[in-house]
Structure formats: C-alpha cells, structure tokens
Structure 1
Amino acid sequence: MGVYNVHERVLPVPGVEVGGLLDGLAGDDDLLWPRRDWPPMLLDGPLASGATGGHGPVRYTVAAYVPGRWVRFTFSGPRGFDGFHEYTVHPLGPDRTLLRHTLAMRARGPARLTWPLAFRHFHDAVLEDSLDRAERVCTGTVARPARWNRYVRLLRRLSR
C-alpha cells in the first residue's frame, strides 16, 4: 500500500526564521515538535545525517540534513514502514515561508493495517500540532488551531 501524506503551513516570516525551527528539532530547545502532548522526538546525538532515534514507536535515521532547509528521516520501525518523512522550508518571498512535512512510504505486512487504523490518525494530529507550534512561535498566535477528532482522542485513551 502506497502512502503519500503532506501537511503544510504558510508562515508570515522569513525563511531563516522557519529554518531555525527546523534546526532545533530533537534538541533541548525544540520549538517545532509538540512534545507536551506527544512522545518527544529524540535522537542519539545532534540533528545530523546518521543520527538515529524516533518518537514513540516510530524509529528512524536522519538520512539527509541541510541546515535551515531540509531534514529527511528514513524509517526503521515500526515493522512494515518502508520510506521516509521530512520537513522542508520553502521561502515564498522576503516575509512568507511554506513549512511542509511529507511522509512517503510503502506500508507492508502489519503496517497495511496499523497505518490506516491508528498511525495515520496519530500522524495527522501530531503534524497539525507541530505546524500550530511553528505558527505560534513565529506569530504569537494560531489563526485556526488544530483539534483532535473523536477517533484520535479514543486512540490516545486506548494507547495509555
């Protein structure tokens, strides 16, 4: 099963400001990952190619990193997640930047069930929360905050 999932937000700030958020991923002062409500993104060292880690049951290796622009993580778990997820920063002008998260993978074996039944819903919620964090850091507010739907709330209760 092929999966291609994109979340993005246009932020009214220069690309260098959004790039700084990207560069802080998995660090002590990470302002992008919503670690208060979700398992933190942790790496075995600084954000750099070859670093390994993950968040919750999702495991990965940093496959590529261009500071301020792009970071790609290649999945190593859960079983059946064959692909990557990445954040990219796209300046749209001097004071507008698109922050995009892309997940592209083939779901094989058990992931053919776990992705559509649980992981996709968690993924969509955590990514919208991440983009809300980026917007709040860059602007001081969030115009349309993400809300977890009933199914996500149920899955969170069941996963405790």
Structure 2
Amino acid sequence: MGVYNVHERLLEAEPREVGALVDSLAGDGDALWPRAAWPAMRFDGPLAVGATGGHGPIRYAVTAHVPATWVRFTFDAPRGFDGFHEYTVHAVDEHRTLLRHTLAMNARGPARLTWPLLWRHLHDACLEDSMDLAEAHWQTPAHPARWNGYVRLLRAVAARTAARRRRTAPAPRERLTR
C-alpha cells in the first residue's frame, strides 16, 4: 500500500530562519520537534548523514541533509515501513517560507493494517503539533492543531500500556560491592 502524506505551513520568516529550525532537530535546542507532547527525536550523534535514532518506536537513519534546506530520514522500524520522511524548506519570497514535512512509504506486511488504524492518526497529530511549534516562532498559529478523540484514545492506551510495563518490569540488579 503506497502512502504519501504531506503537512506544510506558510511561515512569515526568511528561509534561513526556518532552515535553522530544521537544523535544530534532535539537538539540545530542538525548536521544531514537539517533544513536550511526543517522544523526543534522538540520534546517536549530531544531525548528519549516517546518524541513527528516531522517536518512540519509530526508528530511522539520516540519509540526506542539506543544512538549512532539507533533511531526509529513511525508516528502519516499525516492520513494514519502507520509505522515508523529510522536512524541506521552500522560499516563497524574501520574507515568507513554506515548511513541508513529507512521508512517502510503501506499507507492507503488518503496516498495511497498523498504518491506517494507528500510526497515521498519531503521525498527523504529531506533525501538526510540529508545524504549530514552527509557526509559533513568528506568530500565534492561525489554526492551532487539536487532537481528535481517536488520537486522545490511542495516547491514553499507550500511556496505560507503558505504565503497566514499568510496574511489571524486573527491578534492576544491584551491584555487589566488596
């Protein structure tokens, strides 16, 4: 199943300013990823080709990066996500820039069910939060994203599952001291 999913926002900012947001991804000063409400984007090193990581259970590698312009992440997990997602910066004029996030993949195997039932809804909510965060750097978002009831339900189920796992996980073994 082919998936092509785009989120974009026209920002009252210069392309270099919007590009700086993209380049901040996964760093200490990340100004684009909505990590207050979603699992943080993290990599095993700085944002550069070859870095691996992801957010939550979504794993990927940086496979292309043109500073202040474009970053592409190619999926490693979940199983059946064959493709990429990317942020791109498009100059409209000197003072307006289009920030775009594109996800393009072939969903196969279990992803043929999990993408439309689970991941698409969470992805859309997270990316709209990211676009709101970007817009908020220059003005109050004109139409702030709101999670629908299904997204709130999925997040509540995920939170309960994570809490149950924490309660039932074996305690870490204490080190013996001599």
The two structures have a TM-score, normalised by structure 1, of 0.98
2:87 aligned with 1:87: yes
2:5 aligned with 1:5: yes
One-letter amino acid of the counterpart of residue 10, structure 2: V
Counterpart position of 1:137: 137
Q: Distance in 1 between matches of 2:136 and 2:51?
A: 28
Q: Distance in 2 between matches of 1:145 and 1:49?
A: 32
Q: Superposed, which structure 2 residues align to 1:8-157 within 5 Å?
A: 8-139=8-139, 141-157=140-156
2:157 aligned with 1:158: yes
One-letter amino acid of the counterpart of residue 155, structure 2: R
Identity percentage over the alignment? 70
Q: Distance in 2 between matches of 1:48 and 1:32?
A: 16
The two structures have a TM-score, normalised by structure 2, of 0.89
One-letter amino acid of the counterpart of residue 134, structure 1: A
Structure 2 SS opposite 1:137: coil
Structure 1 SS opposite 2:89: strand
Q: Distance in 1 between matches of 2:81 and 2:141?
A: 32
Unaligned runs of 5+ in 1: none
One-letter amino acid of the counterpart of residue 69, structure 2: R
Q: For residues 34-59 of structure 1, what are the alpha-carbon distances to aligned partners after superposition, in whole Å with 9 as ceiling and x for unaligned?
A: 00000000010000000000000000
Q: Distance in 2 between matches of 1:149 and 1:138?
A: 26
Q: Distance in 2 between matches of 1:142 and 1:104?
A: 26
**Runs (4+) off by over 3 Å:** none
Quote the offset at 1:138 in angstroms: 2.5
Unaligned runs of 5+ in 2: 160-178
Structure 2 SS opposite 1:138: coil
Instruction: Work out which of the two has the higher radius of gyration on C-alpha atoms and give 1 or 2.
Output: 2
Aligned-pair Cα RMSD in Å: 0.5
